[in-house]
Amino acid sequence: MKKGIRKKAINLIIVMFLMSLLAFFAIRVMPGDPIALMFGEKDVSPEVMANVKKIYNLDKPLIEQYIIFLKGLVKFDFGYSYFYVGKTVNELIYRAFNNTAKLALVSFPISATLGILLGSLAAYKKGKFFDKLLNFVTAILTAIPDVPLAIFLAFVFAMKLKIFPIAGWGQTKYLVLPAIFISLWPSLSLAKMVRALVIEELGRPYVYMCRARGMGYIRIIIFEVLPNTLIPVTTSLGMMFGRMLEGTFIAELVFNIPGLGRVAVDSIFKRDYPVIMGIILLSTFIYTSINFLIDISHYLLDPRLRGRDEII
């Protein structure tokens, strides 16, 4: 297992390096001068512009800029923001990531619990009204793009019914509607997968043996069937968490939440290169770390994989 962990760690470093290389040069070809955007409509002399570019190393060749960036990256230092003068990228990302993580951590257990419960119940009620209703709702909601769905929820539950506040941050009540939006698609997607897995398991011989011993279907599903679906469900949960981070970005824009998504969009429009790079690399690290944790969970859950380093 140690050999597998070392291999994964090396892969993570390679992925981070390649992503930093690709993102760094891709961002630089974006139209617009970040320093000109920093000053806006102010009348600034060419000498001042040149001095500011020198401070941020923008007067150097791209290769040299990238080397400077890599030296900072090794020390987890992304430098200073171009737009938020005097603020470090680490400070901006840390503050925004706390809000994004809070939203994701509230939404994740809701999605996981609903997905497993709905999927198991749909399998138990296969072909009946609840099963058909879940399939219908899943088909409808997964066909609606994220942004219109978020706007629709805000319009219905905040503007019309006035059950939840339409936007804001800082209190628990502001978490509810964004968490519902973020949880919808992942929970239904997980429910669909759990339903298929449970139905497949219910047709296996050990289920008939349990039934012969007098066990009810609900008890069989909870104590016998669901444990046998842990590996694919764990994989789906890991991928679902990554998908939920994407959902939080949209939720932050629609519901005016000061998280990573909002900072990322602002930074792109303002050509704030260091902040964009910081968010891209943080997102890359999170996704690759999730995949690593999924592999570790497979190793722990399935005794057949133990001792096989190539799986990790």
DSSP assignment of the chain: -HHHHHHHHHHHHHHHHHHHHHHHHHHHTSSS-HHHHHHTT----HHHHHHHHHHTTTTS-HHHHHHHHHHHHHTT---B-SSSTT-BHHHHHHHHHHHHHHHHHHHHHHHHHHHHHHHHHHHHTTTSHHHHHHHHHHHHHHHS-HHHHHHHHIIIIIIIS-SS-SS--SSTHHHHHHHHHHHHHHHHHHHHHHHHHHHHHHTSHHHHHHHHTT--HHHHIIIIIHHHTHHHHHHHHHHHHHHHHHHHHHHHHHTT--SHHHHHHHHHHTT-HHHHHHHHHHHHHHHHHHHHHHHHHHHHH-GGGTT-GGG-
- Give the pLDDT confidence of 143-202 residue by residue, as tens digits: 888 889 989 999 999 888 888 888 778 788 888 999 999 998 889 999 999 999 999 999
Query: 């930074």: which residue's tokens?
Result: 267
pLDDT range class, residue 309, cuts 50, 70, 90: low
Stretch among 80-84, 93-97, 243-247, 271-275 having the lowest mean pLDDT = 243-247
- Euclidean distance between CA atoms 243 and 141, whole angstroms: 16
- Is the confidence at residue 3, as pLDDT, over 90? no
pLDDT (average), residues 22-49? 82
pLDDT band at 21 (very low <50, low <70, confident <90, very high): very high
Whether the per-residue pLDDT at 223 is higher than 70: the answer is: yes
pLDDT at 308: 58
Confidence band of 305 (pLDDT split at 50, 70, 90) = low
Q: Give CA 247 to chain center in angstroms.
A: 7
User: What does the radius of gyration of the chain's CA atoms come to, in whole angstroms?
Assistant: 24
**Lowest-confidence pick of 65-69, 231-235, 297-301:** 297-301
| For range 289-306, the mean pLDDT | 78
pLDDT at 8: 79
Q: Enter the tokens of residue 111.
A: 């999605």
- Mean pLDDT along residues 73-86: 87
119 within 8 A of 193, measured Cβ to Cβ? yes
Residues making up the chain, counted from first to last? 312
Through-space distance between the first and last CA atoms of the chain, rounded to whole angstroms: 7
What the block records as the tokens of 162 is: 């006035």
Per-residue model confidence as pLDDT tens digits over 115-148: 999 999 999 999 999 999 999 998 888 888 888 9
The CATH number of domain 95-269 is 3.40.50.450:
no
Has residue 312 got a pLDDT over 60?
no
Q: Rounded mean pLDDT of the chain? A: 87
Residue 304, pLDDT score: 67
Average pLDDT over residues 238-257: 83
Q: pLDDT tens digit string along 252-297?
A: 888 888 889 889 988 988 889 999 999 999 989 988 888 888 888 8
The pLDDT assigned to 147 comes to 86
